[in-house]
Amino acid sequence: MIGIIVQLAISWLLAWLLEKKDLGVLGFRPTKKRVMDAGLFFTIAVICAASGYFMRTYFGERWILNPFFTWRLLAEGVWWNIKSVLYEELIFRGVILYILIKRVGVIWAIIISAVAFGIYHWFSFEIIGNVKQMIVVFIFTGAAGLLYAYVYTRTFSLYIPCVLHLGWNFTRNFIFSDGNIGNGALMMTRPDHTTTVSYFTYVVVIYFPMLAFLIISFFLLKKRKQIEPTIEGRGSQV
């Protein structure tokens, strides 16, 4: 939590020194539309992320409720994912992205943010040196980074990028225990290596959830008018 507070302080300093703005550029002030959008896009992210596991269940995997599941474990899982999402969003879609938009334009700002996000995951996933994994991780996380940055440029708020990111991560990391924080809500009882499917089926199961996540989110946001708030609460109902 201290790290996030430090990030906010540095973000405020950068916004003030370079753009004469404050943290209002992050669009954190709650409005009815932002809260409704948060619920909608969080739901989309959860459904898309879970769809891959539903398909895997159809082809033979089995999941059971973690016998050691407690409300404390749930609270810890929620908090861990919230902290990790806020940490990454404040770096890659925060004030720095806002400054990049002003200095190099929207397209280049989105590209730079996405590339940095992809490279960052080489280190967070500890896969430096494994070229194949580095390519796959860069493509997937870079594509997600493109979406999250694009969302910010349409709304000038971190509400939707944060809930998309949180919904995806929480579903995979905690609900289906497919991350690096240990067992969450569900545990696999029949692993994937006991199930044999065609290569086409494997590709669909692996890549469909992410493609659906990207495409649905993109088209829901495409028609939104890009609005930059000048003072938080005015012209920022996006």
Whole-model pTM: value is 0.89
**DSSP label at 192?**
G
pLDDT given for residue 62 in this prediction:
86
Nearest to 183 by CA among 192, 193, 194, 173: 173
Q: What is the DSSP string of 127-183?
A: -TT-HHHHHHHHHHHHHHHHHHHHHHHHHSSSHHHHHHHHHHHHIIIIIS--SSS--
pLDDT given for residue 226 in this prediction:
62
CA angle 202, 140, 63 (to 5 degrees): 50
Phi, psi values for residue 68, rounded to 5°: -100, 15
- For residue 75, the surrounding DSSP H or E stretch is helix 71-92
Per-residue pLDDT of the chain (238 residues; tens, 9 = 90+): 788 999 999 999 999 999 999 999 999 899 998 999 999 999 999 999 999 999 888 888 888 999 999 999 999 999 999 999 999 999 999 999 999 999 999 999 999 999 999 999 999 999 999 999 999 999 999 999 999 999 999 999 999 999 999 999 999 999 999 877 788 999 888 665 555 667 778 788 888 999 999 999 999 988 776 665 554 444 444 4
Nearest to 151 by CA among 5, 20, 17, 44: 44
pLDDT given for residue 58 in this prediction:
85
Q: What span, in angstroms and rounded, lies between the C-alpha atoms of 159 and 222?
A: 16
pLDDT given for residue 202 in this prediction:
78
pLDDT given for residue 194 in this prediction:
54
